[in-house]
Structures are given as C-alpha cells and as structure tokens.
Structure 1
Amino acid sequence: MVLATGVPTREELVRRAAAAAPALRERAEWTEQNRRLPEETIEALAEAGVFKLRVPVRYGGYEADTRTLVDVAAELARGDGATAWVASVYWIPTWMTCLFPDEVQDEVFATPDVRICGTLSPSATATRADGGIVVNGRWGFVSGALHSQWQEIIAVQVDAEGGPMPVMALVPMSDLTIVDDWHTAGLRGTGSVSTVADNLFVPAARVLPLGAVLQQQSASRRNADAAIYRPPLLPVASASSVGSVVGLAQAAFDIFTERLPGRKITYTGYDAQAEAPVTHLQVADAVQRIEEARHHAHRLTDLVDGKANDAGEWSLEERARARAALGAACRRAREAVRILADASGGSSVYDSVPMQRVLRDVQSVNLHALMNPDTNAELYGRVLCGLEPNTLYL
C-alpha cells in the first residue's frame, strides 16, 4: 500500500525490509569476511527505500517517523546485523542534514538514494578562513563510509569568540581520506573505517554550531513545519539506532529454533533438546527479554514521535529517559542473545552457524558510547536524583 502522496506506509516499508532479509542473511558471511556491505546489499536497500526514510518529501523522500525506523531495522537485522546497523547510522546524519540551510540540502539530496555517514565525536579541529573554516583531524567508527557520498563531521573551532566551539559540518567523501582500519570482533561487515581531513576547506553554508543543533535550532526554512525535524538530536539518534538490537535478538531466536529439531543435549539422556525442561526455561526467558527489548524500543519511539507531533518542549528528564530506554533495549537484547547462544551447544562456535556472529554483533552494539546500557542508566538516574547531566549529549 502506498499513500496518495507516493509515500509508502509503515506496513509496506516493513514488508519490503522483511522481504530483503533472507538475501541479506545469505550474504552475511561474505559481508563479515570482507568487512563491508556488498554492492548487491546497497542496491537491495535502495530498492526497499531504506535510504529515503529520513529524506524530505520534496526530494522524493518519505519523512518516516522513528517507529518505522525501528521496525524496518529490526527486520533487516534478522537477516544481517551489520546491514541493519549501517542503515540505522545513515538515518541519523541524513536527519542532521535536514537542519542545514535549504541550499545545502538541495546540493546533497540532488543525488538519488544519497548516503550520508557521520559521527558525533569532536575529534578534529577547525579554524576560521575566508568564507568558511579549515578542518584537520580524524574520525573513527564511521559506519557506511565506504558507500557514502557525504560525511557529517564534528570539529572544535579553536579560534571562535568566547573560546573553543564545537561545530557540525557536511563534506563530500571525495574530500576525505579513508583509512581501512576496521579489524574487529563484531559488526565487521559495517566497514566502520576511519576518515581523515587534511587542511580541508568547508564553506560556511555547510557549517552549523553544534550547540545550536543540540538546542533544536535549525537553519532550514522549508523543514520548519515538518514534525520529524523538531525533536532534539540525541533522542532522534537513540530512536534511529535501537531497532538493530531488537532485530539481532529476534535473529538469535530464529537461528535457535531452526536448529532445534533433531538436536540432542550431548552427554545427557535427552535425545531431543526440545524435550528438556532447561530448554523450555531458556527459550521462555529469552523470548520475554526480546519482548522487553521491543517494548523499550517502541516506548522510545512513542516519546520521540509523540513530542514531534505535539511540538512540545523537551524536559531534561525526557531527554535522559530517551537514552535510558535505548540502553534498556540494548541490555535486554544482549541478555536474550546470550541465553540462546549458551543453549546452542558447542557446534554453534563454527563460522557456518550464524549464532556466534549475532552474539558478537549484539555485544559490539552494547559497547557503543551512545548505546551502552550502564552509561545511559547512570545518566537517567543522575537526572532523576536532581543533578545536572554530566554530558552535552542529551
């Protein structure tokens, strides 16, 4: 089903993602071994409309809400966690691009199915120059960089009035150097390489103060009334990325139940693992944790989408709650995968059994600075106790 505007419904977008998942799973081992997404996967994501979800309708995009992002990413992750992660990462800087002046958006979105990678880390410096800034530095963990046309960067402008000032900018990938340093235990297929800027000039139109972005100030006139571009950056980033862990947990359940028929528990009297009470307890426990992960993910999207539609002010507690919900979903998903991996037996350590990859991927997601359950829970508790947050990323 497609709406009258030509924008597919959430149900249709989720159906497309689910239809793409089996092929993603078939390519998952190649993806991990080669530490990047294959071109066939990029083409499949484009065909499913994945790169259009956060693009303004005027450029042929869908302006999808975050509930759609979660449900689409969850289906993609059932096929391959690395693919879902890259898709989720693209959605965040694509949304951030929509805060730039309209003429900048015209330039970026002129490319069909444009892919914009990015970072929230201020690991570069910038100095003022005539008509813009000059940037020097390096960014790591840039998921999807190998398939992107643009990168959103963060740098600290060291000659700004009033002291150092973080800025956000957009640069073509052709202006950056890619360093292939992505040799990891998990999420190998994301190709999250490093990028380097060497005396890179960025025009002023493609530069925004990060502080203004964090305070929901946009330079776009034509997006001013669009609900999806109203919420703060960090709740948006949280809701954009949480679907991958929900899908990884569901993938673990899929893999476990596919292997269950005919499996025994070695060195016991059980000829069928499915008949053992311990299996019943493990499966029930894991499924309940998957359901809890999905609950927290949808609770997060309800908050972000609800506030966006109401154009309501965000309280400090709500901002912290968004990150707490992200962390809770990550924690529950990781717990579910661990239970099912532990129940999968020694044979599951072979490369040919996807369970070991799902386990490594979900663990890697939980180590991400934005996703880390303990960090997010501490931040939420801090705010609930009446203290000021000890981070700008809220």
Structure 2
Amino acid sequence: MSNDLPGRAELVRRASDLVPTLRTFSAWHEENRRIHDEAVAALAQAGVFRLRTPLTYGGYECDTRTLVDVAAELARGDGSAAWTASVYWIPTWMASHFPDHVQDSVFTSPDSLICGTLSPSAMASPAEGGIVVNGKWGFITGALHSGWQAIIAVLLAPEAEPMPVIALVPTSELEVVDDWHTAGLKGTGSVSTVARDLFVPQERFLPLGAVLQGQGASHANKSSRIYQAPLLPVAAASSVGVALGLAKAALDAFVQRLDDRKITYTDYASQREAPITHLRLADAATRIDEAEFHAHRLAATVDRKAAEQAAWTMHERVLARADMGAAVQRAREAVDLLADASGGSSIYLDVPIQRIQRDIQAMSLHALMHPDTNAELYGRLLSGLGPNSLYV
C-alpha cells in the first residue's frame, strides 16, 4: 500500500466515527427498508466503498483484516448499513476480474456501487455477440443505490455442458421487485431483480468457475495480490465482521441500560448488582472474544496466502468457511444471552438490542453464513470426505 493511502487504523477510525450517524438513521432504515441517502453519502465520504476498488480507479485495495475491523465498527452503529457495505465489497472484488476496458465503464468513480449474488437463478442462451439472460435474483442487498449488478446465470449452449457465468449489467436494465419485507436486516433494501430478454455482450461475462478461483481477465489487476484469492474465502472475510460488530453493539447496549433497570419482582434496585448479570456479561464477552478470534484467523489466512502468492489447499478453503460459521455462531450466542437478560422493556422498538437480535438472526440464516452448513462442511473434511459444495 502506498504512503498516500489510508492505513487500517485510519479506516477503522473513520468507521468508528460513523457509529453515531448510523445509529441516528437506524430507525429510518427499518421503517423504509433501505439505507438513507445521507448514510450512503457518509459511508462514501469515509472511503468505505473504496476498500476493494482497484488502485487504478482510486480505490484502496485493502487487506481483509481491514474489512473485518471496518465492518465490525459499522455494525456497532447499524447492522443494515454494515451488511450493505460489506456486501458491496464482494461484487466490487468480482468486477475487478473483468477485462480492463469493462472496468473502465463500471468504475467511473472510486465509490461506484456494485451489488450482486452468487445464486445461479437465471438462464442464459447464446446470441450474436453475447448472451441473452432471463431470470430473477433475490436478496440483492444495496440494489437501490447500485449502478451495476453482478448476476449469475446458467448458460445453455447447443452441444455444450451447462456453464454458470457471471455477468456485469447496469441495474437500470433490470426490473426491481420491492419484496423486501423481513424481520431482520430490514434496512438493507435486499430486493429482487429481474432480467427479461436482457442482452449481455461477450466482454461483460466470464465463466463463474474462473472467478471462484480468482482467475480473471484483467491485465491491470493480475499482479495485485488481493484479486488472486479464491472467491469464497474472500466473501467470508468480507462479511464476517458484521456479526462481530453486532455482538459488540449488543454488549454496549446492554451495559448502557444497567443503571436504569431494576429486576422486577426482586429486591435488586439495579440490574448491575445481580450475580446473574455478572454471569451473563462474562459469558457473552467471552463468546465475543471467541467470535473475534475466528474472524481474525479467517482474515489472517486470506492475507497470508495473498502475501505468499501460494495456492490454497482444500483444508484452508474449508477452514475459512468453518471460521466464518463459528464467528457467526459465537456472536449470535452472545447477542441471545444479552437479549434474554434485557427484560420485558427490551421489546420496545426504541431499545436497540431487539433490532440487533433480529439482525444477527437474519445474518446467521444466510446460506453461506449458516453455522451448521459450515460446520458440516468442515466435519466432512475431517472425516476424510470431500466437500459436497462447489462454494469452497
């Protein structure tokens, strides 16, 4: 990283400075089911959207430890804003594998916003000069503010095996379906998008398998270490910090209410005096420490492999997902412990912990974040079996 670029400490400080602003907008985010424009502008001004943008276009090309720590700080302010920012980092990384002249069209600003998915829920057919795509993608976080979307489709060509492809398309060419009515992460605006006979030129799609392995068509980014890793460890490290930050937010929210709360129907005038409070706090804090260990070990592995420019073993790939699942599980356990000890008054919407609990529950149910899915994958490897997923 060159001397004129902000380092990790500076970027984490900027994210920490955003916490009060994000908390101010958290109720609006839930009510309107999207991130407020002013919150997006504040994130952009802090450079949050540049963390995975190539240096060529004014980005920072940050290491993954920075992603974890920045996301954790943002989540202390608002889970929806943090999740949206972390999701943007992943398709931004994916777009950096496309031919350089395609990137010129996508990264018209260092803060260009790209949404996306890894689900191949659309079909593509060959056409002169490209492909035609039809289909629908759900859970498209940040679509309402994005200029581009990374879509996944299965290309069916005559006398060829079906091949998943990833394509970059302007979001203006997609139909947006306002179907984001959820219990958690309500402010992420994770709507569905639809393609109807959408033509994608040859230059704007790549085999998904190549991008999953960190093998793209960009000459400018070929020597950049952060773009040589497999996609799944990169995606895991990009988003795991949100879970850690939500757990820290829950701990902050719980402690702040101690002096103002007694334990109803007991002699405790302050919850702070009760031994059960001490036990819950210690247990939750320990689980947060465990979540932080797994999140940082995941990031350290991705960054070490990048520095070594070494091939990933299957064990390292699977352990990356296992670390992500373990971090999410420990973080959710910590939040649940604190929420259960927060009393009946915590169900009011102006008490943050109820929102934090719903957000981390929603996050932990994500197909790639789910603790059980990732633990099973790791257990298969430890049992001498191969992974039963392409997403490693």
TM-score (norm 2): 0.99
**Percent same amino acid at aligned positions?**
65
2:112 corresponds to which residue? 114
Alignment of 1:1-394 (within 5 A): 5-159=3-157, 161-394=159-392
| Residue 161 of structure 1, CA deviation | 4.7
In structure 2, the CA distance between the partners of 1:230 and 1:160, relative to structure 1 (3 Å rule), is: farther
Equivalent-residue separation in structure 1 for 2:67 and 2:181 (angstroms) = 28
Preserved contact between residue 149 and residue 169 of structure 2 (Cα < 8 Å): yes
Q: Deviations over 1:245-291 (max 9, x none)?
A: 00000000010011111311111111111111100000000000011
Equivalent-residue separation in structure 1 for 2:3 and 2:106 (angstroms) = 22
In structure 2, the CA distance between the partners of 1:4 and 1:93, relative to structure 1 (3 Å rule), is: closer
Structure 1 window deviating more from structure 2 (133-142 vs 154-163): it is 154-163
Equivalent-residue separation in structure 2 for 1:262 and 1:157 (angstroms) = 60
Equivalent-residue separation in structure 2 for 1:192 and 1:175 (angstroms) = 17
Equivalent-residue separation in structure 1 for 2:329 and 2:348 (angstroms) = 25
| Residue 388 of structure 1, CA deviation | 1.5
| Residue 52 of structure 1, CA deviation | 0.5
DSSP 3-state at the match of 1:72: helix
Equivalent-residue separation in structure 1 for 2:148 and 2:316 (angstroms) = 31
The amino acid that maps onto 1:383 is L
In structure 2, the CA distance between the partners of 1:48 and 1:160, relative to structure 1 (3 Å rule), is: farther
| Residue 112 of structure 1, CA deviation | 4.1
Preserved contact between residue 69 and residue 241 of structure 2 (Cα < 8 Å): yes
Equivalent-residue separation in structure 1 for 2:166 and 2:4 (angstroms) = 32
> Mind listing any 5+ residue stretches in structure 1 that lack a counterpart?
none
Aligned residue pairs: how many? Answer: 392
Preserved contact between residue 57 and residue 109 of structure 2 (Cα < 8 Å): no
Equivalent-residue separation in structure 2 for 1:25 and 1:287 (angstroms) = 22
Q: Deviations over 1:145-166 (max 9, x none)?
A: 0000000000000116531110
DSSP 3-state at the match of 1:168: strand
DSSP 3-state at the match of 1:220: coil
Preserved contact between residue 253 and residue 353 of structure 2 (Cα < 8 Å): yes
Equivalent-residue separation in structure 1 for 2:275 and 2:232 (angstroms) = 43
Equivalent-residue separation in structure 2 for 1:365 and 1:274 (angstroms) = 30
Equivalent-residue separation in structure 1 for 2:2 and 2:190 (angstroms) = 38
TM-score (norm 1): 0.98
In structure 2, the CA distance between the partners of 1:161 and 1:314, relative to structure 1 (3 Å rule), is: farther
Q: Deviations over 1:333-391 (max 9, x none)?
A: 00000000011100000001011000000000000000000000000111121212111
Equivalent-residue separation in structure 1 for 2:260 and 2:153 (angstroms) = 56
Equivalent-residue separation in structure 2 for 1:112 and 1:275 (angstroms) = 51
> Mind listing any 5+ residue stretches in structure 2 that lack a counterpart?
none
In structure 2, the CA distance between the partners of 1:86 and 1:381, relative to structure 1 (3 Å rule), is: same
Equivalent-residue separation in structure 2 for 1:234 and 1:199 (angstroms) = 30
In structure 2, the CA distance between the partners of 1:274 and 1:224, relative to structure 1 (3 Å rule), is: same
| Residue 5 of structure 1, CA deviation | 4.1
The amino acid that maps onto 1:60 is G
The amino acid that maps onto 1:260 is L
DSSP 3-state at the match of 2:206: strand
Q: Deviations over 1:87-114 (max 9, x none)?
A: 0000000000011111111111113410
DSSP 3-state at the match of 2:69: helix
Q: Which runs of 4+ in 1 moved over 3 A?
A: none
The amino acid that maps onto 2:76 is R
Equivalent-residue separation in structure 1 for 2:181 and 2:118 (angstroms) = 21
Q: Deviations over 1:210-265 (max 9, x none)?
A: 11222332111111111100110000000001010000000000100111113111
| Residue 6 of structure 1, CA deviation | 2.4
The amino acid that maps onto 1:73 is A
Equivalent-residue separation in structure 2 for 1:58 and 1:367 (angstroms) = 36
The amino acid that maps onto 1:19 is D
In structure 2, the CA distance between the partners of 1:164 and 1:31, relative to structure 1 (3 Å rule), is: same
Equivalent-residue separation in structure 2 for 1:162 and 1:384 (angstroms) = 36
| Residue 294 of structure 1, CA deviation | 0.8
In structure 2, the CA distance between the partners of 1:170 and 1:358, relative to structure 1 (3 Å rule), is: same
DSSP 3-state at the match of 2:18: helix
Q: Deviations over 1:285-317 (max 9, x none)?
A: 000001111110000000001101101111111
Equivalent-residue separation in structure 2 for 1:90 and 1:262 (angstroms) = 39
| Residue 57 of structure 1, CA deviation | 0.9
RMSD: 0.9
